[in-house]
Structure 1
Amino acid sequence: MELNKIIEGRRSVNDFEPNGEISKQDIETIIEKATLSPSSYNLQHWHFLVVHDPDRKKVLKEVAYGQQKVEDAAAAIVVLGNLQAHERAKSIADDLSEKGYLPEEYKENVINQIQGLYGNNETMQRDEAIRGASLAAMTLMYVAQDMGYGTCPMIGFDPEGVRKEFNLPAHLIPAMMITIGPAKEENNPRKSRLSVNEVTTFNGF
C-alpha cells in the first residue's frame, strides 16, 4: 500500500471483531518491521509483550479498566521501554565498527558517551525508553494498517497492574498498549485535526 494511503487510512479502532484472528507469523512480521524504527545510538529501547491467549486478555482487560476492546481484539501488544538499553553499548559500538560507521579507535569513546549519558541518569533512561518505545509503536501501527489490521493505541491501563499480572522485569516500563486485529468499523470519518498553521512555527516564537 502506498505510504500516504496508509497514513491517511489509519484510524484508532474501538470495535474489533470478537472472533477475529491474527496469526503468530503476522504478529512477528509486524514486530520485525517495528524494530526498524530509529533510536538514540541505535540502542533499540523497545520490547513487546504480546497478549493473545483469551484468558490472559481477560486479565489484561481488568487492568485496562474493563475496556472491552482489549478482550475483543485478536491481540493486545504492550509496548515496553527498556531502562537498561544503554548496557548494549559495547555490542552497538562493535556493530558500528564492523559496518564501517565507526573507526576501531573511536569505539571506546562511543561506549563512554553512551554510559555517560544514560548510566547514572534515571530521568534520561526513562525519557529515552518512552521515546524509543513510542517510535516503535507508531511504526507497528502503520505496518499493521498495511497488512489489513486495525489498531488502537491506549494509555488507559494501570501500569503497575500490568507489571504485577504479567510479571514484568523491573527494567521494562509500559509505554502504551496497542490492541490489534480485524476491525468491525470501516471508512469512519476522520476526526478533526488542527491545521498546519495552528501547529507550526518557523524559526522561533
Structure 2
Amino acid sequence: MALRVLGVDPGLTRCGFGVVDVGANRRASLVAVGVAGTDASQSLDQRLLAISQAADEWLETHHPQVVAVERVFSQLNVSTVMGTAQASGVIIAAAARKGIPVALHTPTEVKAAVTGHGSADKTAVTKMVTRILRLDRPPRPADAADALALAITHAWRAGAGGGGAGGGPAGAGQSGSLTAAQRAWMEAESATKSRTSHRG
C-alpha cells in the first residue's frame, strides 16, 4: 500500500504544496505540486483565508494520509517568522479538521534526508528532488521543490508504503534497493551516531 504525503512549505507570500506517493518498492512518485500565493497589499485575515482555502483544496483533491510541514525556526527577520508561523498554523488546523495527522520537520532534517547533507543549499535540494522523483525538469519555484522535499523526507522517515513512524529511510534493511539519496541518508546517520558514541 502506497503512503501518500502532502508536503507544505508554509509562507504568506508563497506557500508551496507537493504530494508524493511512496510505494512498497520504495520509490517516490510525484502526484501534484504547486504554489498558493497572496499579495502583501492584502489584509492579514484575507491572506490567511486564502492559504486556508488552498490547503482545504489540496486536502480534498489528493486525500493525503499525512501532512508534512516545515517546522518554523528563528530568523533575524521577525516579520518573516511571524508570517511563516501564521501560515503554518492555518495548514495544521486545516489538516486537523479532516483528522489527518501532521508531522513537522526542520529544514536541516529535510536537507539531510534528501541530499545527505544538513547544510545543503536550495539548489542541491531541488536537484535531488528532481532525481528522486524522476522529473524531466526541476519543480519551480523553490517553494514547490521544498514542499516535495518535505513530503519525501516524511515518507522515508515513516517507512515507505507503511505509514509508520520509523526513524530512517524507506528500505533501510534492503540496501540493494536504496536510491543514492537514501544511501547518503544512512551514511549521514551512521556518522552522526558514531560521533555521538565517541563523545559518550
- TM (norm. structure 2) is 0.31
Larger Rg: 1
Q: TM-score, normalised by structure 1?
A: 0.30
The structure whose RCO (Cα within 8 Å, separation 6+) is larger is 1
